Structures are given as C-alpha cells and as structure tokens.
Amino acid sequence: MAINQEVLDEMLLPYPDKVQKNRTKHIVRKNPEEGCQQIEANTRTVPGIISQRGCCYAGCKGVVVGPIKDMITITHGPVGCAYYSWGTRRNKARADDITPPEQIYGAMCFVTDMQEPDIVFGGEKKLAKMIDEVVEMFHPRAVNVCATCPIGLIGDDLGAVTKKATEKHGIPVLAYNCEGYKGVSQSAGHHIANNILMENVIGSGDAEKNPSEFVLNLLGEYNIGGDSWEIERILHDIGYRVQGVLTGDSSVEEMKNMHIANLNLVMCHRSINYIAEMMEEKYGIPWLKINFIGVEAIKKSLRDIAQVTGDETFIRRTEEVIAREEARVLPVIEHYRKICTGKTAFAFVGGSRSHHYQYLLKDLGMEVVVAGYEFAHRDDYEGRSVIPTIKTDADSKNIPELDIKPDPELYKEAHEHLNLTKEKFDEICSRVPLGNYEGMYPDMNGGTLMIDDCNHYEAEQLVKELKPDLFFAGVRDKYIAQKMGVPAKQLHSYDYSGPYAGFNGAMNFARDVANALTTPAWKFIIPPWEKESENKGDINA
C-alpha cells in the first residue's frame, strides 16, 4: 500500500519550521526508482517532542548486561532507575550444568539507593560497602556496576571503587560509565557495554576447543520470551555446539571462552555489532548476520551457516531439520495465514526488530506499510556500506572506541577458524554475506514509509490516516493505537507470549496475530475522530 505525500505533509504541518525541517530528514518514503535513499538517524531528538527512546543506562544495564544470569548487576544511583529497569524485559534464564539456581540473580534488584546526602558528599563509600555486602551474601562469580545520570554529575570514580573491589574479592567487578544522558539514546549504552565485556570478559577463559566440534556464538539475542532457547534447539539439532549467547540466558563462565568459536552469528546487529567486529579484529573469527524470525528467514540463515562450514554433513543435516520442522509447522501457519493475508501492519520497534519481523509478516501474507526504529543508526536502515559516510558528531564521540589489535597467541585467519583452505573460503564468501548487513530499506515495498525516532504525535497521526490492521510497538505506544480501535501487539516483550523466534516461534506468532485480528473487542471501540466531541467549548470559557 503506497502512502500519499499529502498524509506526510499534513502530519508535518503543525510543527514549527525548524522542527519540520528536522523531522523531514528522519522520514523516507521509498521510491524504488531511486537507489537507497538517505535517512537521518542516531541524532538528538528535538526537545519537547515525546520520543519513545530510552536512555544510555537502559541500553547498557537493561539490554546488554542485565540478562547475564550469574553476574550481579548493581545500579549505582536512585532507586527509581533500578526499579523501572528491573524485571520488565522478559529475558528468561534457567539453571543448567554450569549455573546452579542459587547463582541466578535476575529476580532480584540491586541498587545503592542514592539519597541527598550521598549526592552532596559523594556515593563511592556507599557503593564499596554495597559491593562487599553482595559478595558476602550471594558469592557471585562477577559483579557489574552501572552508573545513572547523577553519578556522572557528581563525579563518583566508579573505576577506582571497582578496581579496589576486584582486588579485595578476587572476582571481576566491572564499572560501566553508562550515565543516562550519554549519547542520544539507549544505543550509546549498547556500545559501552560491548566495550567493557570485550575488554574484561570475552577471551579471559582458558578452555581448549575440541577440534571435532563446530562451535558457534549467538550474538545480539536476549532470550525474550524464550527466543534463544528455541534457536539453540534448532542449532543443536543440526549438530553445532553453541559456546555462548550475548546475552540471553548467558553465564559469565561461558562468555569467558567465546573466543574458541569458529563463527559468530549476529542476530541483533544494532546492539552487538561492536563485539562482532572486535572479535574479528582480535581473534579473526568471522561473523554472519542471521535472522531467526520467520520460516523463510530461518531457512536462509540455516543454509548460510551450513555453507560457511563447508561441510557436507552439516549441509545435509540442515535440510533434514528444515524438512522435518516445516512438515510440522507449515500446516498450522497456513491455517492462520488465511486470516492474516492481505492485512497491513505498522512496525515501530528499537533497532532491529522492525526489519526482522517483516519476514515473518511476509510469511503470513501481510504488508508492512510503515516501519521505523527508535534508535537505529543509518546502517540499520541503509546497510553497512554507508558506514564510512556517517558523520561522527559530538554525541557519538562521547563513547570510547577501543583500540583492538590481533591477539598474539589466539589470532587466526578467518578460514583457519573454519578449517577451510583460503580458496574454499573465498569461494564461500562469494555466496554468503559474511561480515555484511543489508539494512531494512531493500526489504521495504515502493511507496511505504521508513521513519526514524517516530514520536507519539506522529504515530497517532499515521495510525489515524493509514488505519493499519495491526500496530506493532512497545508498551509506551501500544495504547495510543488501541484507543483508536486498532489492535496492537508488543514486539519488545511480546506482551505475555513467545517465543517468536525459530519454527515454534513462527507458529506462536501466527496464532497471536490471527487472534489480534479476529478479536471482536476492537469493534466496540469508536475512534475519537468518529465521535461527536463531548468537550465542546474552549479553554477560556
């Protein structure tokens, strides 16, 4: 469904000139005649606009380090920052051979609870005491300390406190200077978390690789609603070993030895591309962008992985698993596809799902008419080829870039990791997009919309004008659509459902979408624009 330019003009009209100019650059209506069109992204939100973005601390603590199940993560700051970043993301964890149940801390919330006197006189002593207490009480394998805005403002030296604590307790105590105000969104927090984990955890173990195994890491997968368990089920079934996941249901013990992998799989490019690149530079491990959302996307990803191994057994086993899973799930999906086909969707999520879910929606015969990201960078929209042309502004310069060098002992050429000859590796690279990511733009239809940092007002206008059949977003924005009579589904936490990844996930998703589209509840809501206003009169009356 193509979108009229008039709809966009009308949406932008009430803005002051400067804001109009700014927002125009964040909105692209795809013109298939042109090459990839440029979009502005990862720049500051206009003050006063109700953005759906989160903060740097949210990206570091909530997204990347929070799910590591056997590390205690302390929020150094006010209790509200800790409380509202606790227990809401549905990143699941369970005990296994490596991690006993008493060493899983996700159900607990740790915070220094900074009060006024601490802000005035400094919170370092309080933090040191808290680290002592958690080590004494819980005996964790490692501790994270994440800074909130006031910590940066008062200048507490997190690094000094955690260094002393590391020496005192003999376990890694890691400092993340991820004050909420850094960067322009949670994206800055991803980068900071990537840096600290790369410097202090990954590669610090001494495991030896079993040469007969093909070892994968799954990067940028957070086990929301059990997604990574379903992905791992499929990979194990084919015969791969998964050394570590960043960071869904992950353990610091597994993460330490992620350098033994043959290949890194990258699910969410936005949050983890830094580690994928740094591991390539330091250890030579190649990375492959994959997507386990939607049957066709899963099949392509599995076949790409098998191709990279260059091994006939994996290639054959991949086809066997695909055939078996398809026979099981496709009839169920077909049942729901009949309900979903021809419907339109609006997808506005963080930095990778608005693209990933387009494959699954396509499987169901649905069209995405608007897709947007809260905090993606231009490469997430336009593909990695634009990276050299992205301007680094003051906000991005705020985030340190690590100077990574090849490890003198562990570095190997990519083809050696894969146990391939250079010729065979080069031949595979011509078929499989190792180290590349195309972005969302190529998968959008002509005339549809890509929108960056879509705000509350714009979401409301677009839903009103385009009347999509389904609105996919988060808890902050779903009620806007629902109040307008449009069913909404959370693509961050899946409401209470999931997994949505893998073959089982595709079935769950098809069922939930068909339910949303057929529930009679929405027929009982009269959208405000079709109602006679009850609030007649004006403010001065």
**109-117, 149-157, 334-342, 345-353 -> range binding ligand CFM (CB under 6 A):** 345-353
Whether the Cβ atoms of residue 98 and residue 242 lie closer than 8 Å to each other: no
417 binds ligand CFM (CB under 6 A): no
Asked whether 209 and 30 are in contact (CB, 8 A), the reply is no
Stretch that binds ligand CFM, among 76-84, 300-308, 346-354, 435-443 (CB under 6 A): 346-354
Based on the shown chain and the rule CB under 6 A, indicate whether residue 224 belongs to the binding site for ligand CFM: yes
Site for ligand CFM contains 271 (CB under 6 A): yes
Q: Which of 504, 537, 540 is nearest to 294 (CA)?
A: 504
**Per rule CB under 6 A, is residue 439 in the interface with ligand CFM?**
no
Closer to ligand CFM by CB, 218 or 418: give it: 218
User: Least distance to ligand CFM from the beta carbon of 505, Å?
Assistant: 14
Return the number of the residue (124 or 221) whose C-beta is nearest ligand CFM. Answer: 221
User: Cβ of residue 268: shortest distance to ligand CFM, in angstroms?
Assistant: 3
With residue 263 as reference, give the H or E element that holds it.
strand 263-266
Q: Does 505 bind ligand CFM (CB under 6 A)?
A: no
d(CA 325, CA 322) in angstroms, rounded, equals: 5
Asked if 5 and 29 touch (Cβ cutoff 8 Å), the reply is yes
CA 311 to chain centre: 31
Residue 63 touching ligand CFM (CB under 6 A): yes
Q: 498-501 long-range contacts, Cβ below 8 Å, gap at least 24?
A: 498/90, 498/224, 498/225, 498/226, 498/227, 499/224, 499/225, 499/226, 499/227, 499/229, 499/230, 500/225, 500/227, 500/293, 500/360, 501/221, 501/227, 501/228, 501/230, 501/231, 501/292, 501/293
Q: How far is the CB of 310 from ligand CFM (least distance, A)?
A: 30
Find the residue with minimal CB distance to ligand CFM. 350
* The one among 261, 349, 473, 516 contacting ligand CFM by CB under 6 A: 349
Note whether 222 binds ligand CFM by CB under 6 A.
yes
**222 or 522: whose CB is closer to ligand CFM?**
222
Q: What is the CA radius of gyration of the chain?
A: 24
Question: Which pair of structure tokens corresponds to residue 520?
Answer: 């009679």
Establish if 488 lies at the interface with ligand CFM (CB under 6 A). no
225 contributes a contact to ligand CFM by CB under 6 A: no
- Residue 351 within binding range of ligand CFM, rule CB under 6 A: yes
56, 58, 142, 514: the catalytic one is 58
Is residue 265 part of the contact set for ligand CFM (CB under 6 A)? no
Note whether 360 binds ligand CFM by CB under 6 A. Answer: no
275 binds ligand CFM (CB under 6 A): no
55 among known catalytic residues: yes
Question: Among 350, 439, 487, 498, which residue sits at the site for ligand CFM (rule: CB under 6 A)?
Answer: 350
499 binding ligand CFM? (CB under 6 A): no
Place of tokens 């992204």: 41
* Residue 51 contacts ligand CFM per CB under 6 A: no
**By CB under 6 A, which span of 9-17, 220-228, 235-243, 291-299 interacts with ligand CFM?**
220-228
Catalytic residue among 29, 89, 90, 169: 89
Residue 302, C-beta contacts closer than 8 angstroms, at least 6 positions apart: 234, 238, 318, 321, 322
Total number of residues that touch ligand CFM (CB under 6 A): 16
Does residue 259 belong to the site contacting ligand CFM (CB under 6 A)?
A: no
Per the CB < 8 A criterion, the answer to whether 314 and 304 are in contact is no
Beta strands in 114-240 (DSSP E): 142-147, 173-176, 215-221
Among 55, 175, 340, 516, the active-site one is: 55
- Mask for 116-145, x = binds ligand CFM (CB under 6 A): ------------------------------
Task: Find tokens 């994968």 and name the residue.
Answer: 216
Pair 217, 261: CB distance under 8 Å: yes
Return the residue of 26, 61, 182, 492 that touches ligand CFM, per CB under 6 A.
492
Concatenated DSSP letters of 495-508: TT----SHHHHHHH
Q: How far apart are CA 473 and CA 516, in angstroms?
A: 14
Using rule CB under 6 A, residue 489 touches ligand CFM = no
Q: Identify which of residues 64 and 339 has a Cβ nearer to ligand CFM in the complex.
A: 64
Q: Any idea what DSSP says for residue 310?
A: T
93 binds ligand CFM per the rule CB under 6 A: no
User: Do 468 and 344 contact (CB within 8 A), yes or no?
Assistant: yes
**Tokens of residue 325, six digits:** 């899973």
Site string (278-297) toward ligand CFM, x via CB under 6 A:
--------------------
Contact segment (CB under 6 A) with ligand CFM among 265-273, 326-334, 452-460, 533-541 equals 265-273
Q: Which is nearer to ligand CFM, 266 or 279 (CB)?
A: 266
Contact yes or no for 192/159 (Cβ under 8 A): no
> Is 476 annotated as catalytic?
no
Strands 344-349 and 367-373: parallel
Annotation says 89 is catalytic: yes
In angstroms, the CA 398 to CA 495 distance is 35
Instruction: Tell the smallest beta-carbon distance from residue 223 to ligand CFM (Å).
Output: 9
CA distance 310 to 263: 12
Is 188 tagged catalytic? Answer: no
- List the catalytic residue out of 23, 190, 378, 384: 190
Q: Convert 58-84 to b/e letters by CB count within 10 Å (16 or more is b).
A: bbbbbbbbbbbbbbbbbbbbbeebbee
Q: Tell which one of 148, 186, 273, 508 touches ligand CFM (CB under 6 A).
A: 186
- Other C-beta atoms closer than 10 Å to the C-beta of 308 total 25
| 123 versus 350: smaller Cβ distance to ligand CFM | 350
**What distance in Å separates the CA atoms of residue 329 and residue 351, rounded to the nearest whole number?**
28
Active-site residues, by number, are 55, 58, 89, 190
For ligand CFM, the binding residues (CB under 6 A) are: 59, 63, 89, 186, 220, 222, 224, 268, 270-271, 349-353, 492
